[in-house]
Structures are given as structure tokens and as C-alpha cells.
Structure 1
Amino acid sequence: MPKYEIGIIGLGKFGYFLGQSLTDLGHTVLGIDNDSEKIKRAQDVLTQVYKADATDKAALVQLGLAELTHVIISVGHSMEASILIALHLKELGTKNLWCKAVSTEHEKVLKKVGVDHVIFPERFAAEQLARELVIPGLIDYLPLGKGVILQELRVSKWAGKTLRELDLTNKYGIQVVAIKQTGEADFKFVPKANTVLTKEHILAVIGKEEAIKDLEP
């Protein structure tokens, strides 16, 4: 996995935990905030932290934000601040700019400014939770098209058959991406087509939600 140099502007809950996760994954993370308490909390977690007003273009230049591989703007509910910061960064040549939005109107303005990726963390978390509540075995809800999910299926009726015989890809547009035995902690990825299934098997499949829910595995 390549290692990136990532800037996070705004070290509230979302920015802080995003930075912590990226640091844990081995990336270099530079955090910026104008709140001394937030800087203090993040200084032992992120690679580098700076107290600065990111709406000041000169500060962004001094900190070299535009030279980083990714920059994420997460400045709470301040639409004006996030738009101004985004405008400055695009003018400075930032190549991969992400920004947290608080409304669809905010999103529209950010895209007009040139932000590459607009994110709604609360909306995504709510959609994910809703599906986890009502879809047994859901592993993830994927933004690969409407209704694409990654879900666990416990084998019952398919016992004694191979993945080749089931032909799930051609029949249902579903792909088995991993398999494990009941009691095993980890999945084994890309199972062989001649794998004979038993009632002890659990499959991780990816496909359209409506196709998966109609299966009787």
C-alpha cells in the first residue's frame, strides 16, 4: 500500500478520528486547527499539528498544504470557512481535495469551487446503520452504485455444491469474494471455483441488494 502525506483542516470529532485512523494505517498526517485544546489533543496522535487560521491563504502556503497528496477540510458547521479554505487550496493547486458538507446547498457550492470529493459523514453513517439493522449479515454498504452491498451468507441449501455449479455471477450478478468456516475469525479471499460448500461455510458476497435478499443459500 502506498504511503501518503495527508492534511486535515479542522480537528473536531470527525477530523481527529479520521487523522488517527490514517496515522494507524501508516500515513503521514498533518493536522491544522485554530483551537488550542484540539491541537493539544491531537499532538500525540497525528504526525504534525499546527495552530493556524486556515482561512488565511498565506498560512496555507506557509504550511505547504498544496504539496500534500490529499487534503481534507472538516471545519464543523462553518460553510463560509470551508468554502473559503477550499477556494484558496484549489487556487494553490491542491490536486486531491476532500471536504465535509453540511447541506446539499453547501455541496453545490463546494463542487463549483472545484472540490474533488464532497462527503456527508452523518448521512453515510445513518444509511449504513439503517441497513445493518434490517439486513442480517451485512458487512458493508458500498458506494459503487445504488444498492450495492457486501453481505455474509450462511450456507444451507447450497451444501454439497461447488461455486462453479452455483454459477452465482452469471445467474444473479453476485460475486463470492471470500469464504470461511464457522468459528474462524478471518475470511479467505477469492475462493476457488471448485470449492465444495458445507453447512459450516459462511460466504461474503457482493452484489445488488435486491438480488442478494432473494437468495436461499
Structure 2
Amino acid sequence: MSASKRKPVLVVGLGRFGGAVAGTLSKMGTEVLGIDSNRQKVQQYAADLTKVVEVDCTDGYVLRQLGVADFEAAVVAIGSDIEASVLTVLALSELGLTNIWAKANNDRHARILERIGATHVVFPEQRMGERVAHLLNERLLDFIAFGDEFAIARLCAPEPIVGLPLEMSACRRKYDVTVVGVKRAGKAFIHAVPDTLIFPDDELVVSGKIKDIERFAAI
């Protein structure tokens, strides 16, 4: 979707997580209404976002006056104050928003958010902690895990498959991973096919079970 067609997004809570979400959306060309009860945070993002206001985000009447009911998507990035997080999601849900992303601190917090209207619940600290743990083995360059023990990872091509076409290296049969693509320095991304030849220093994008990806990276 082009920047001109992106719908405006409401971001409530401009701490580290909310500020990063709002700032990235703004750089992507999305109009962002940022809300925070902290004046310093409001001033910090005033020049970067479409509009930033200092209000009590748990007050449904105030949110309605700001036109929040017209937004199709909202991100509730409040983490430290669970009561404010819950009341804000509830207020947005009662205003009719059907695409609410909310940050949760723990499973209990997440269950409450889901019951009162959050359509997506995220655990940014937990997810980042898991990602760093996997990257610490220094063989994986990037890593995205899914909830069912599967992942997509970027890694340096293991030495045993260098110089071979993928069909001959038999990554899927031997290692239970699928090579999705290859990135070569100075070249465009290559979508992997059976006769794709692996060069030294190639970076691979692979998918599979986490344990199989880590085993493949270590060969």
C-alpha cells in the first residue's frame, strides 16, 4: 500500500516502544496521532508526528473529542501502568475501534486486554529477549520466531554446502530446513531454486524449526 493510501494510526503512550512505533510509522508516510499524559514526551515527539496531544488517555469522552472513533487502527503502548493500559483499550473498544494493538507485560495482562477488545497483543521485551538469546550463538545474523517453534533466520552459508547447487546440498532432506533465498554482496536478493549455486560469504534466508535452523547454522 502506498504512503498516500495508508490510514492514520493512533499511538497511545510514547515511551520507548510507543515512540519507536510512532516514529517508524511517520517515516513510512503514515499520519500519526500520538497521545501521552507526560508533557515531556509530548514535547519530544511534537516535531516528528502529525499531531501529539497531552491528555488522559483513559477518558473515553476526551478520546471521542479528539476524533479517535474515526481511526481504523490504534496502538496502546502503555506498559508500566497496567490499569491505564486496560482502561485505554476498553475506551477504544467502546468507541468502536476494531483494530487495536496493545502491549502486555505478562500473560495475565494479555488475557485481560484480549477480553476487553484488544485484537493483537504483543510482548516486545519478551520477544526481543528471545531473539537476542538466539543471536548470541554468532552464527545467526537475524532471527524471527513464530509461536509454534518455527522461525525464519538469516545466516552465513555453512561451509559444507558452499560450491553446491541447492538441489545437490539437499538442505531439506539432510537438515530439515528450507533455503528461501540468497543475498550476495552487491547483488539483488535471489529467490532460491534447486539449481541456485551457493558461493562463499553468501547469506541465506532459511525457514524451519528453530532447533533445525540452529543445527544447520552450526554444521
Q: Same fold (TM over 0.5)?
A: yes
Unaligned runs of at least 5 residues, structure 1? none
Q: Which residue of 2 aligns with 1:196?
A: 197
User: Percent same amino acid among aligned pairs?
Assistant: 30
Question: Residue 178 of structure 1 contacts residue 187 of structure 1 at CA under 8 Å; is this kept in 2?
Answer: no
2:154 counterpart of 1:151 = yes
SS of corresponding position for 1:178 = strand
CA contact (8 A) 2:55 2:62 kept: yes
Matching of residue 93 in structure 1 with residue 96 in structure 2: yes
1:7-86 alignment to 2 at 5 Å? 7-86=10-89
Contact 2:179–2:192, Cα closer than 8 Å, also in 1: yes
> CA separation in 2, counterparts of 1:149 and 1:49?
36
TM score, norm. by length of structure 2: 0.87
- The residue that corresponds to 1:127 in the other structure is 130
CA distance in 2, matches of 1:166, 1:159: 9
Distance 1:143 1:63, change over 3 A: farther
2:145 and 2:210 in contact (8 A); partners too: no
Measure, in 2, the Cα distance between the counterparts of 1:119 and 1:60.
23
Aligned residues: 215
Report deviation, 1:170. 5.3
Please give the alpha-carbon distance, in whole angstroms, between the structure 2 residues aligned to 1:189 and 1:7: 37
Amino acid at match of 2:65: Q
- In the alignment, the residues of structure 2 paired with residue 193 and residue 79 of structure 1 have an alpha-carbon distance, to the nearest angstrom, of 51
Deviation at 1:197, TM superposition (A): 2.3
Supply the distance in 2 between the matched residues of 1:165 and 1:11 (Cα, whole angstroms).
51
Relative to the length of structure 1, the TM-score reads 0.87
Contact (CA 8 Å) 1:162, 1:196: kept in 2 or not? yes
SS of the equivalent of 1:164 reads helix
